[in-house]
């Protein structure tokens, strides 16, 4: 059971060079795999490929294999993919249907598309709203939410489809620190409570430091670094790959650079 | 048109009140299809009945209904949006109406005519009646009610959704134009002052607005796919707008009116 990318190489329609690959990656249920990298390193493309959207929806050419729970993603139809892989983009405004009057109905949009009985739709909506702690937003107009709230609604909308995996492309890029904290907390809960496997592309490495089990750093569409989150985040090569280490790592380096001994007690006190 | 039952019961005691809400007021509570047919009748009356009675009758009726449904102010704002078109109609007809030979005055080589003035006013009244009829139906009908009603009638929800989402995206597009305009101003673009300067300022807006919208459409398409929008089978409807006897009677009457007016017009008994 996992999303498995094996020797995957992908190029967009009209392009002569590959935007991604060759790449091997595995996302298991209950695990959070963080993805970092400089601009144009292939992060968004990786999301589209892993979710089965590329090439099925956006075209292009894929070599290698993408399997979701052992099934070739190319054989799945979009609504079947949607129930296996929830996909969330950067902009909350493009995630929402813009045809509903309340957040409750917005979150119900996906389950309603599946033709589920009303009782099950209701149950799924409350489950999703609870998972991201936004039950209080249920009666609100989705068009009148803040960026952070909108992104949480978009996340709940994806969770309502009960996908086994979540693929998130910089979900906090437009959010302030408070909104980023809300989304990061919600993702951590979603991973813990729903057991979903999460592939999370994120520029803010503090978010990955909080919730990722493993981290992959991309460069020119290929994996430049990978491993356990704590190991990768402390790797001195991160900055050369265009990625700023998290604040805790930078602080530790500054402290050590100043000749002060770094200890677990000091780290805890600063935290 | 046969009414197909929803995939699942349209009412459920588990649904919150804000989802099962009913519109208040007589006109608002009419079925969406009824309001669309009435709007069609108003357009036919405004255009097919010769002279002033048609458009004036429609505008008077629309004003009464808008006042009663609390949408008069919004309707007037939408009417103002048609002002540039009305001005161009007036200018063209005032000065260039073919065959008009009853000048009001001579201003150098220009000679505005009484015939042109009257024809321009009549055309403008018809245009206002047309836009107001559509606008009133829109202002008194939530998009999700329209979508639910069309889905129940077995109409392709893709087409309906595209129209509904496009209408809902208008405010977003206006916001985007504002953002791009601010960005262009910050880079020294002069968008104030005389009309030609303002017109020149619109040119650099076009590419970012169009390309931005296209990019957003692609992301929205992927987001919809990831919410099972293309799932086969009938969609679950959480709330179905009522379709009462009075709705059916009003629709048949309005349809009969449309057919009668067009028939009278075609046979030359009117006009």
pLDDT in tens, B106-161: 888 888 899 999 999 999 999 999 999 999 998 998 888 888 888 888 776 677 67
pLDDT (tens digit per residue) in B181-211: 777 777 776 666 666 666 666 666 677 777 7
Q: Is the pLDDT of residue A143 over 70?
A: yes
Question: Measured between CB atoms, which of B16, B225, B233 is closest to A53?
Answer: B225
Nearest to B15 among A78, A81, A122 (CB): A122
Tell whether the model's pLDDT for residue B8 goes beyond 60. Answer: no
Q: At residue B25, does pLDDT exceed 70?
A: yes
Q: What is the DSSP string of A157-198?
A: HHHTT--SEEEEESTTTT--HHHHHHHHHHHHHHHHHH--EE
Of B206 and B19, more confident: B19
pLDDT band at residue B9 using 50, 70 and 90 as cut-offs? very low
User: Between B114-139 and B32-48, two packed helices, what is the crossing angle to 10 degrees?
Assistant: 170
Q: With an 8 Å Cβ cutoff, is A162 touching chain B?
A: no
CB atoms closer than 10 angstroms to residue A41 = 24
Three-state SS at B104: coil
Residue whose C-alpha is closest to residue A267's, from A209, A185, A196 = A209
Q: In what order do the strands lie in the sheet with A222-228?
A: A85-88, A165-169, A197-201, A32-37, A214-219, A222-228
Sign of CA dihedral A64, A67, A71, A75: negative
Distance between B16 CA and the closest CA of chain A, angstroms: 9
pLDDT (0 to 100) of residue B157: 67
Give residue B194's Cα distance to chain centre.
Answer: 31
Residue from A112, A224, A227, A210 nearest B15 by CA: A112
Say what the pLDDT of residue B3 is. 39
User: What integer pLDDT is reported at residue B13 of this predicted model?
Assistant: 53
Question: What local confidence, expressed as pLDDT, does residue B1 receive?
Answer: 37
Give Cα separations from A203 to A210, A220, B21 (angstroms).
13, 16, 42
pLDDT for residue B271: 64
Contact of B181 with B206, CB cutoff 8 Å: no
Domains of chain A: 3-270 (3.40.50.300)
The residue among B240 and A216 whose pLDDT is bigger is: A216
- CA dist B136 and A35 (Å) reads 49
Nearest to A33 by CA among A215, A231, A217, A223: A215
Map residue A201 onto helix, strand or coil.
strand
A115 interfacial to chain B (CB closer than 8 Å) = yes
- Nearest neighbour of A57 by CB, restricted to B7, B221, B237: B221
Please state at what angle helix A147-159 crosses helix A177-194, rounded to 10 degrees.
Answer: 10
* Interval A5-33: pLDDT, tens: 999 999 999 888 999 989 999 999 989 99
Which of A17, A32, A35 minimizes the C-alpha distance to A223?
A35
Confidence of residue B2 (pLDDT cuts 50, 70, 90): very low
Residue range B42-92, pLDDT digits in tens: 999 999 998 999 999 999 999 999 999 999 999 998 888 888 999 999 999
Q: Pairing between strand A71-72 and A61-68?
A: antiparallel
pLDDT of B171 higher than 70:
no
ipTM of the complex: 0.80
Q: How far is CA A94 from CA B2, B104, B120, in A?
A: 34, 54, 42
Residues A87-111 have pLDDT tens digits of 988 887 788 888 888 999 999 999 9
Rounded Cα distance, B54 and B47, in Å: 7
pLDDT 10s digits, A40-75: 899 999 999 999 888 888 889 999 999 999 999 989
pLDDT grade for A181, boundaries at 50, 70 and 90: confident
For residue B230, the chain A residues in CB contact (below 8 A) are 77-79
What distance in Å separates the CA atoms of residue B199 and residue A96, rounded to the nearest whole number?
A: 34
Q: Which residue from B173, B221, B146, B12 is spatially nearest to A104, judged by alpha carbons?
A: B12
| Closest CA of chain B from A126, distance in Å | 11
For A51, other C-beta atoms within 10 Å of its C-beta total 30
User: A241 touching B, CB under 8 A?
Assistant: no
Beta-carbon count within 10 A of A50 CB: 27
- What digits encode the pLDDT tens for the residues B207-244? 777 777 777 777 788 888 888 888 888 889 898 888 99
Instruction: Match 């916001």 to its residue by tokens.
Output: B175
- The span from the CA of B256 to the CA of B45, in Å, is 12
Distance from CA of A168 to the nearest CA of B (A): 12
d(CA A42, CA A20): 6
pLDDT tens sequence across A222-260: 999 999 999 999 898 998 998 888 888 888 888 888 888
Specify the higher pLDDT residue, B144 or A112: A112
Nearest-CA distance B19 → chain A (Å):
7
pLDDT at B232: 85
| Rounded distance between C-alpha atoms, residue A33 and residue A260, angstroms | 33
- The DSSP call for residue A19 is S
């Amino acid at each position: 059971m996992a999303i498995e990318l094996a020797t995957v190489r992908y190029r967009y329609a009209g392009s002569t060079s590959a935007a991604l690959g060759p790449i091997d990656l595995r996302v298991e249920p209950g695990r959070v795999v963080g993805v970092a990298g400089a601009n144009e390193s292939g992060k968004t493309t990786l999301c589209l490929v892993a979710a089965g959207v590329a090439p099925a929806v956006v075209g292009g050419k894929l070599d290698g294999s993408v399997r979701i729970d052992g099934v070739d993603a190319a054989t799945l139809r979009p609504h079947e993919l949607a129930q296996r892989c929830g996909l969330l983009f950067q902009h909350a405004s493009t995630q929402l249907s813009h045809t509903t009057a309340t957040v409750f109905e917005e979150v119900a949009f996906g389950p309603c598309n599946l033709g589920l009985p009303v009782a099950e739709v209701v149950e799924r909506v409350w489950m999703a709203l609870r998972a991201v702690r936004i039950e209080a937003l249920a009666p609100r107009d989705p068009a009148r939410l803040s960026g952070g709230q909108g992104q949480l609604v978009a996340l709940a909308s994806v969770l309502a489809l009960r996908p086994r995996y979540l693929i998130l492309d910089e979900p906090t890029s437009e959010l302030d620190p408070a909104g980023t904290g809300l989304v990061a907390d919600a993702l951590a809960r979603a991973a813990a409570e729903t057991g979903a496997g999460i592939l999370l592309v994120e520029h803010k490495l503090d978010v990955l430091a909080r919730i990722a089990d493993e981290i992959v750093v991309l460069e020119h569409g290929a994996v430049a670094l990978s491993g356990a989150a704590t190991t990768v985040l402390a790797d001195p090569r991160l900055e050369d790959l265009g990625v700023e280490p998290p604040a805790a790592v930078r602080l530790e380096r500054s402290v050590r650079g100043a000749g002060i001994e770094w200890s677990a007690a000091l780290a805890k006190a600063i935290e | 048109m046969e009414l197909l039952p929803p995939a699942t019961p349209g009412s459920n005691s588990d649904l919150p009140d804000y989802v099962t809400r009913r519109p208040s007021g007589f006109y608002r509570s009419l079925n969406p299809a009824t309001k669309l047919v009435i709007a069609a009748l108003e357009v036919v009356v405004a255009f097919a009945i010769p002279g002033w009675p048609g458009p004036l009758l429609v505008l008077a009726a629309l004003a009464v209904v808008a006042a009663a449904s609390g949408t008069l102010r919004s309707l007037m704002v939408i009417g103002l949006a048609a002002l540039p078109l009305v001005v161009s109609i007036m200018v063209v007809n005032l000065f260039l109406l073919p065959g008009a030979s009853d000048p009001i005055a001579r201003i150098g080589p220009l000679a505005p005519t009484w015939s042109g003035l009257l024809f321009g006013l009549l055309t403008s009244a018809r245009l206002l009646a047309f836009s107001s009829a559509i606008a009133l139906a829109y202002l008194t009908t939530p998009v999700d009610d329209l979508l639910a009603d069309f889905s129940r009638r077995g109409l392709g929800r893709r087409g309906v959704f595209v129209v509904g989402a496009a209408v809902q995206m208008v405010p977003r597009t206006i916001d985007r134009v504002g953002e791009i305009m601010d960005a262009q101003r910050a880079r020294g673009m002069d968008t104030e002052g005389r009309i030609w300067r303002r017109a020149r300022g619109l040119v650099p807006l076009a590419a970012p607005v169009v390309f931005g919208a296209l990019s957003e459409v692609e992301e929205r398409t992927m987001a919809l796919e990831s919410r099972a929008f293309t799932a086969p089978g009938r969609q679950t409807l959480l709330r179905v707008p009522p379709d009462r006897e009075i709705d059916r009677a009003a629709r048949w009457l309005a349809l009969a009116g449309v057919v009668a007016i067009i028939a009278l017009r075609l046979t030359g008994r009117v006009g």
